[in-house]
Structure 1
Amino acid sequence: MGLFLTLLLKITPLYLNIVLGYISVKILDIKRESIANLVIYILAPIVVFSATISVKIDYTLISLPIFFFIFCSFTAILTYTLCKKYWSDATSNVLAFSAGTSNAGYTGIPLALIFFDHTFADIYIFTMLGFIFYGNTTGFYISAKGNFTVKQSLLKVVRLPILYAFILGLILNINGVSIPEELFIYTSQFKGAYGILGMMILGMSLVGLKKSSDLDKKFILISFFIKFIYWPLAILFFIYLDKTIFNLYNSEIYKMMFLFSILPLANNSVTLAILHGIKPEKASITILLSTIFSIIYIPIMLVLYGGFN
């Protein structure tokens, strides 16, 4: 019980940023589009560049984003195949996209900064690239199946500034170039800013949300099952296989992988719901519920895992 309360006290302040985000739009009339652009086009590239240039590149590290890209893609394809018969519109496409990812950035980075030292926090951010590439390749294609081509999806990836930040950081890292300590301290501050503003964006997206008669219980139940049961069980099974057979990773990497598996749903689904003409309340309510649920769910799962001491 003591460990649970300790973990709960650690993560609860992060969720206060959601309230601040809601207030900033509702009362201060802050434009959420401006904040989103700031996060996507300035903060995210700096955070990824700083992490990529700082980590020690080896085959084990390279395999982490590749693993999650494959896992996310497999989960999305499986979900779409099994669930497409349940809806006549593009709901199953949005569900499949959501099933294949998690809130690895906005929720995950602040948690990684809490539970890991800066070295493993950078490895976490580097690994997060697997989720980013999934969301803009396999995930985007599945979510937009029938409306967009593979070429259009890939063009979306090419336009991402975060991609070029990663490539530049990787090239400099491989060639032994490092950033000065003073500059590293400066760029490290962007990780905290990214996490704060990212969580605030979740709160901003709730403005205008109303009780909807279109509350889709089936959508919510399937989303929760995949995210909060399938994901951790699948990752724990992989950890078991690695411990007993492959021996690729260490205990710190296992903790990081497990953290990825217990994060709430990603808020990208709201954007996709709008894109496909599906009432965004369906995705917004599901994401809100998963985020609230994760306040208790995450510390419980960490306790069951044994803590992140």
Structure 2
Amino acid sequence: MAVDPTSLMGPLWTLLAFVALGVLSARRLKVDPRPIATLLIYLIAPLTFFRALVLGGPTPVYLALTAALFVIASLVAVLINRLGKRWLGDEEGSVLAFSAGTGNTGYFGLPVALVLLPPSGVTLYLFCALGVTLYEFTVGFYLSARGRFTVRDSLLKIARLPLIYAFLAALLVEGVGMTVPAAVTDAMSVFPATYTLLGMMIIGMTLGRVSVRSLDGRFIGACVAVRYALWPLLMLGAVLLLKATTGLSQDMALALLLIGVVPMAANVVVVAMELGIAPEKGALAVLITTLAAPLVIPLYLSGMLGLVQ
């Protein structure tokens, strides 16, 4: 199966247009991105997450995918956290650790999944992506907070994150057999698009304030290596193992491989800004990996799918 690079250009240019709007907002309108980051973390992300879970109809198999990706992301982040703090220092090491466990599975990966996968494959991809998102707002947020705060303060910050409770509420709704009215889910349909728009604009707003001094070659190089070297190899190994033991379907293989090749998560900037930890450096790294995505993703996916078929 070959991946056509032109199929990725639509999502890429849309995301870059949102970044450009963010740059204009910061430079011309002097918009402060920090309140927007808070709005994303404490309101828009939880509602987006809740709606996706309710509509997806979580089953034990789907939730197993979510749990597996959550564990993988957490283990990668913990490993990189130990290495990164020795090499980069506490704050930059914490941002690197957070970014190591996640990727742009939502803003960038989902539009690509809609192009490459049938509806059933998109559902598989979504529940894999939910595991990564759950990592971001639990283990990932804790590791980032530890770059500046004590253990107690970091745990308190996690306890205040509503996304955790949105996840539990969605499981409760499914567990007791409740049906969320269609009018409610329809009204909440504005949140996924808002999540994407504001998430990418925050990158632009942060870049609008970046100076040459923010360019940190070691930090950016480490981010790129983790995202475009470690994760593709990790997901390829997982797919080969599952293929040999369980007879993994082609759609499931592509969903997992796509998780491994998306660019860095825009939430790296959102969380860094909320915690006040090196958001400019994170924004540059996110932009670089996003610009590389149209070249990297078709090349990686075509090569890896050839190995697993």
Q: Is TM-score (shorter-chain normalized) higher than 0.5?
A: yes
2:227 maps to what in 1? 227
Deviations along 1:172-198, one digit per CA (max 9) or x if unpaired, are 122222234454444334322322222
How far, CA to CA, are the matches of 2:141 and 2:46 in structure 1?
20
Distance 1:250 1:170, change over 3 A: farther
1:138 maps to what in 2? 139
CA contact (8 A) 1:110 1:195 kept: no
1:64 maps to what in 2? 65
Distance 1:86 1:118, change over 3 A: same
How far, CA to CA, are the matches of 1:28 and 1:9 in structure 2?
27
How far, CA to CA, are the matches of 1:128 and 1:207 in structure 2?
29
Deviation at 1:206, TM superposition (A): 1.1
Distance 1:303 1:186, change over 3 A: farther
CA contact (8 A) 1:270 1:284 kept: yes
Aligned length: 305
Deviation at 1:23, TM superposition (A): 1.7
1:289 maps to what in 2? 288
Deviation at 1:161, TM superposition (A): 1.9
CA contact (8 A) 1:8 1:296 kept: no
Distance 1:278 1:48, change over 3 A: closer
Letter in 2 for 1:207: G
CA contact (8 A) 1:133 1:157 kept: no
How far, CA to CA, are the matches of 1:3 and 1:124 in structure 2?
19
CA contact (8 A) 2:227 2:263 kept: yes
1:145-160 matches, within 5 Å, as 145=146, 147-160=148-161
Deviation at 1:27, TM superposition (A): 2.3
Unaligned 5+ runs, structure 2: none
How far, CA to CA, are the matches of 1:292 and 1:86 in structure 2?
26
How far, CA to CA, are the matches of 1:15 and 1:125 in structure 2?
23
Deviation at 1:117, TM superposition (A): 6.1
Equivalent residue of 1:233, what SS?
helix
CA contact (8 A) 2:102 2:132 kept: yes
Deviations along 1:57-100, one digit per CA (max 9) or x if unpaired, are 32221112211221112212222334443345543333222222
How far, CA to CA, are the matches of 1:88 and 1:40 in structure 2?
26
Matched, 1:13 2:7: no
How far, CA to CA, are the matches of 1:112 and 1:14 in structure 2?
15
CA contact (8 A) 1:4 1:299 kept: yes
Letter in 2 for 1:225: A
Letter in 2 for 1:153: S
CA contact (8 A) 2:95 2:278 kept: no
How far, CA to CA, are the matches of 1:263 and 1:200 in structure 2?
18
2:100 maps to what in 1? 99
Distance 1:124 1:30, change over 3 A: farther
Distance 1:275 1:86, change over 3 A: farther
How far, CA to CA, are the matches of 2:303 and 2:77 in structure 1?
27
Deviation at 1:245, TM superposition (A): 0.7
How far, CA to CA, are the matches of 1:134 and 1:155 in structure 2?
16
Distance 1:271 1:33, change over 3 A: closer
Distance 1:125 1:5, change over 3 A: closer
Letter in 2 for 1:32: P
Equivalent residue of 1:209, what SS?
coil
How far, CA to CA, are the matches of 1:122 and 1:150 in structure 2?
36
Deviations along 1:204-225, one digit per CA (max 9) or x if unpaired, are 221111112x633222222211
Unaligned 5+ runs, structure 1: none
State, as a whole percentage, how many aligned pairs show the same letter.
34
TM-score, length basis structure 2? 0.82
Query: Which has the larger share of helix?
Result: 2
How far, CA to CA, are the matches of 2:38 and 2:274 in structure 1?
18
How far, CA to CA, are the matches of 1:129 and 1:262 in structure 2?
16
Bigger CA drift: 232-241 or 254-263?
254-263
Distance 1:158 1:259, change over 3 A: same
Letter in 2 for 1:238: A
CA contact (8 A) 1:110 1:192 kept: no
Distance 1:306 1:25, change over 3 A: same
Deviation at 1:238, TM superposition (A): 0.3
CA contact (8 A) 2:137 2:163 kept: no
